[in-house]
Each structure stands twice: as C-alpha cells, then as structure tokens.
Amino acid sequence: MNFNLSVGLSTYLLVGAMLFCLGLYGVFAKKNIVAVLMSIELMLNAVNLNFVAFNRFLAVSSVVGQVAALFVIVLAAAEVAVGLALVIAIYRTRHTTNTDEFNWLKW
C-alpha cells in the first residue's frame, strides 16, 4: 500500500485544523453533554490526523508519529468510557444532560 501522494502536508494539516475547530465549536456551543463529548472526540481525531500526517511527510523511515496516535487513541477510549460514565452518573442524580444546568461551580 504505497500511494504516490500528490497532496501536500499543508492540506492534511488544514483538514485537521478544520476538524479541530469544528470540534471546538461543538464543545462551546452544544447543549447536550453527550454532544460535547462527541466534539471532544472530533478534536482528538484532528490531533491524530496531524500526528500521522507529520509522520508520513517528515519521518518517512519511522512510525513514531503513529505510536503517538496510538497512545492518543488509548487515552480517547479511556476518556470516553469515563466521560460517558460521568454523564450517566450525573443524569441519574440531576435527570438532565443539559450543560446549561451544569452550573454547580457557580458562586
């Protein structure tokens, strides 16, 4: 599987940036806490894409970037497990997933 890529590094990075910023927007703007978690997954994917792209373009003889991406995936899996468990725990006591009502830090 050796593709002859005609698309440059910058293009990949731009795709990653788009994914990242869309995820960021989701984190800021979504009301549903599950949607916020999904947006975080988007951002993590954007980062992974960057790792792999840098690896492919700047270190053609090694897979170090892929190792990093692998670790990020592991972390993301842990994150989503704990995050969703938290969502369920909060939902059990508060009966809501609306982030507007998650304001216990207030005052």
Least separation in angstroms between residue 55's CB and other proteins is 7
The verdict on 85 binding other proteins (CB under 8 A) reads yes
- Number of neighbours of residue 66 by Cβ within 10 angstroms: 15
Q: Find out whether 57 and 44 touch, Cβ atoms under 8 Å.
A: no
The verdict on 42 binding other proteins (CB under 8 A) reads yes
- Number of neighbours of residue 50 by Cβ within 10 angstroms: 21
Terminal Cα distance for the chain, rounded: 57
Least separation in angstroms between residue 44's CB and other proteins is 9
The verdict on 23 binding other proteins (CB under 8 A) reads yes
The verdict on 38 binding other proteins (CB under 8 A) reads yes
The verdict on 45 binding other proteins (CB under 8 A) reads yes
Count of residues that interact with other proteins, criterion CB under 8 A: 86
Distance CA 64, CA 51 (A): 9
